[in-house]
Amino acid sequence: MYKDSKIYVAGHSGLLGSALIKRLTENGYGNLITVPHDQLNLTDKKCVHDFFSLRKPEYVFLAAGKVGGIVSNKTYPADYLHINITIQNNVFDAAQKYKVKHLIFYGSSCTYPKHSSQPIKEEDFLAGHIEETCLGYATAKITGIAACKVYNEQYQMNRFIALIPNSMYGPNDNFDLENCHVLSALIRRFHEAKINNSDTVKLWGSGKPRREFIFSEDVAEASIFAIQNAVRLENQHYNIGTGVDYSIQELALKIAKVVGYDGKISWDSSRPDGVSQKLLDSSMFSSLGWGPKVNLEQGLQITYKWYQNKINAWT
C-alpha cells in the first residue's frame, strides 16, 4: 500500500472509521476516499457497484455497519442481521469484481462461543453456541469472517483479511444510552451524575463480568499493519486485543476517577450480566510485530476529553 494508493474507508465518521482516517493521514497516506451515507447507501447493490466502478479503490477498510449495545441488539436483532449482511455482501462482491488489492473486514468477539475457554483463540471460532442477546449481529459477523476465507479460497488470493478486535472505544464512539456499549455508557452516566451532583450512580448487573478494551487508534494501526504485511498472513481471521481485561466494577472505578465523580456506585444484580469473560488471545497477530500502544487509563482520558468537547459543542 503506497502513500498515493486509493484507499476507501467505509464508515469514516464512526468510531473505527475516524480512527483509520486519523492514523492513515498521520502515516502519510493522502489519497483517501470517503463518502457520506446519504451519498452512498451500502445496502444498495447498484450504488455500491457504481461507486467501485467509478472510483476504483485499491484498498478498502470496511468499518461501516450497524452496531449497538445489548439493549439495541435484543430489540432489533433482525435489523442487525439484515443490514450488516447486506453491506458485507455488496462490498465483498464489488471488491472482488473490481479487483481491490486488499479489503479489511472487522469481525467481533461476540462471534466466539459463549462459554469459550479464556483467553479465546482463533481456533475457538464456531466451536460452540454464541450469546443469544447478540444473535443477529454475531451471525452477520460470522458470515463476513467466513466470506473472507471462502472468497480467498475460491479465487486463490489473499484479497480479504478478517480481523476480530475486542471491545473498541475512543473518540467518535456512540454515547446514546439506548445503543452504546458499556464503556461509553459509563462515561456518560458518570459525567451526568457529576454535573447533576448525584449522590449515587446505579449500574446494571453485578459488575463481575470481565471485558477487554482496545483503543480505536490501536485497531486502526493494526489494520494498516495487516495490509502492509498481507503476504505474511494466513487465510484465517486474527484476534486484535491488548491481552488485559478488567471487571466492569474495575472499569467503573477507573471511569469515575477520570470523570471526577466521587459519589457512590451501586449495582442492580437483578439485571443481566451477559458473558462472564471475553478476553482474546492475540498472540498470533502480535507475533508478526504489532502491539497496542495506548493503555486503558490513557485511552479513557482521551475519550472523555473528546466527549466533553462534544458536549460543549452541542450546548
CATH value at residue 83? 3.40.50.720
pLDDT at res. 312: 74
Is 70 exceeded by the pLDDT of residue 315? no
% residues pLDDT > 70 (the chain): 99
| Domain-embedded: residue 226 | yes
| Positive or negative torsion for Cα 20, 24, 30, 31 | negative
CA distances from 226 to 11, 89, 123, 129, 277 (A): 19, 22, 19, 29, 27
pLDDT at res. 277: 87
Is the bond preceding 119 in cis, omega lying within 30 degrees of 0? Answer: yes
Query: Quick one: which H or E segment has residue 21?
Result: helix 15-26
| Domain-embedded: residue 127 | yes
Task: Compute the distance between CA of residue 9 and CA of residue 195 in angstroms, rounded to an integer.
Answer: 36
Count structural domains, the chain.
1
Is 70 exceeded by the pLDDT of residue 314? no
Is 80 exceeded by the pLDDT of residue 313? no
Q: At which residue does the C-alpha cell 495506548 appear?
A: 294
| Domain-embedded: residue 304 | no
Is 60 exceeded by the pLDDT of residue 261? yes
The angle subtended at Cα 44 by Cα 23 and Cα 84, nearest 5°, is 60
What is the mean predicted confidence (pLDDT) over 36-48? 95
Say how many C-beta atoms besides its own lie within 10 A of residue 309's C-beta: 11
What pLDDT, in 10s, does the model give residues 159-200? 999 999 999 999 999 888 877 788 999 999 999 999 999 999
Evaluate whether 32 touches 7 at the Cβ level (below 8 Å). yes
Task: Compute the distance between CA of residue 100 and CA of residue 269 in angstroms, rounded to an integer.
Answer: 49
Report the Cα–Cα distance between both ends of the chain, in Å, rounded: 42
What is the mean predicted confidence (pLDDT) over 95-118? 95
List alpha helices for 133-240, DSSP H.
135-155, 182-195, 216-228
| Domain-embedded: residue 196 | no
Task: Compute the distance between CA of residue 198 and CA of residue 194 in angstroms, rounded to an integer.
Answer: 6
The domain in which residue 232 lies consists of: 7-172+212-243+278-294
Task: Compute the distance between CA of residue 63 and CA of residue 68 in angstroms, rounded to an integer.
Answer: 14
| Domain-embedded: residue 2 | no
List alpha helices for 264-295, DSSP H.
283-286
- Would you call 194 helix, strand, or coil by DSSP? helix
| Domain-embedded: residue 198 | no
| Domain-embedded: residue 88 | yes
What is the mean predicted confidence (pLDDT) over 234-249? 96
Is 70 exceeded by the pLDDT of residue 114? yes
What pLDDT, in 10s, does the model give residues 8-21? 999 999 999 999 99
- In single-letter form, the type of residue at position 152 comes to N
Is 70 exceeded by the pLDDT of residue 219? yes
Residues acting as catalytic residues:
137
| Mean pLDDT of all residues belonging to the chain | 94
| Domain-embedded: residue 251 | no
> 85 is written with which cell numbers?
449482511
